[in-house]
Chains A and B, each alone.
Chain A
């Protein structure tokens, strides 16, 4: 195993729990503990705890923090109320997606959460754009640990771990509080599983205690440690995009069905000219969800052919859905194949296997709103 892989502060805990460790975005991360399906079901029915300390966190402070964020992301950051958070996209001037982010509004500024594999790319990009803005930009990724507590029982588990009123914390809300009496934490009602749940930001030195205490506290509720395998299958069923798959530098938000994150009326921002033109001209390909009709499992990068046998697109993510019991996939196809019921072939090991476009999300998220 490569020496250069980074480890989260919970690495020893994962190994002790018998997790299978795999390289992911430069990190040595747990892909599973008890098994992907078991962990997946725990999150849908009870709760799961994920170490997502590999994710990047940047602080944006200073008088121009809002103006700067309005300049670099596609969403309207002025609409994020105090104690609220919002999904956003960072785009190239040509409209291609650099990364997807979560922006949390804090009392003294903003915190950005970015994908682990994009931390350096995003931070360098933001530093290039900051010229002319009175903003302090700090990459706090290496000091900040992050956990995701996800699933229908996560609220009742977390309520027993903190004096902070998490029951009334709204969807996409964030608050400062303490965990287990004295550990400072930022608690947000956000996640990536299509369930109610929370994300917790804690300094590295306290994270082992929080991890151990939460697992002990939730044991009788069915709380399980969960790896990146279940994180992927859960977000896939809810059709939440993953950088490097549904979104990438050569994919624009309209193709990715993320037009709702692009607010062209908020004023100019990086990529706004190109995105306006793309929106007016219309896209030629779009992300669709599909179900395999024939026997076979679609996987990322498999080719998609039309029924005449011509290569017309590709799969971004595919797997057997643990919750729905079907072989499902997401992929890019030309507009004429995006209608529900449209059929095409996924090329599985050289053989065409029929697939049919279905409604997305495959699994309707059950957020507490």
Chain B
């Protein structure tokens, strides 16, 4: 498969996944903002809940420069409709559709039609229309369109390299997102001692879990109060949680083994190394190391892996052609 095609396809699914994750994050922020509790940061300062999605996406600085005060409406506009914000839902769907348009021949008609229909509807959205229709309904719509597209992909696409790279993009973006969500909550939601086990604690952690569709799973598995250690265990180490880092790394490692096909390439080795850390990891050691530090290291490793994949498969730079001494004197035009 053409490297450019593989690259476009992996970004196509990353953008879809990103749109879904942004919707999840905003949805949960919206829910939090309706609660009568305030959020505190590490130094026990109040944190405006609407700053959370900005911090999580690494967009706080850009937002402040362009939009000023952190208000619900401004953040929603910025994160949903702002075409200049590459992480907005609008931009993510637009980019996915651009990738799909460039790769019409590599995806199925059903995939294209599903994505194009999503784009046509997204393009017609305005802030007022979203508010009228219900903000949370809009987030549900984004999630549904993402589920639909993934379902259409699984249901119609040939299991070729294109499919493999699309899956790779999905799990990369998902791993990145789960790590960031965990990290932000670690910063902003760390409960102060007296609140542990209290109502604030409950709502904050449950919100985090809900944002990655893990609330009911938590109940099912632990049947107990929500604690940070268990949340970390669930979202980092449990491989049966579809959005956990372990689940994502299982997929990424398997996919890279498939792509590298026994050629002993760096992407496979590095993915194996990251995977092993999680596969054999323990919450106690993660917390000893520091959850934030651990997550930052993980994200850095993911970046390195991404660069390796680019270099080997997606944006390859070949060494300059060997200059063969020509005995043939025929001039080339």
Q: Do A and B come from one complex?
A: no
Which residues of A pack against B, CB within 8 Å? none
Which residues of B pack against A, CB within 8 Å? none
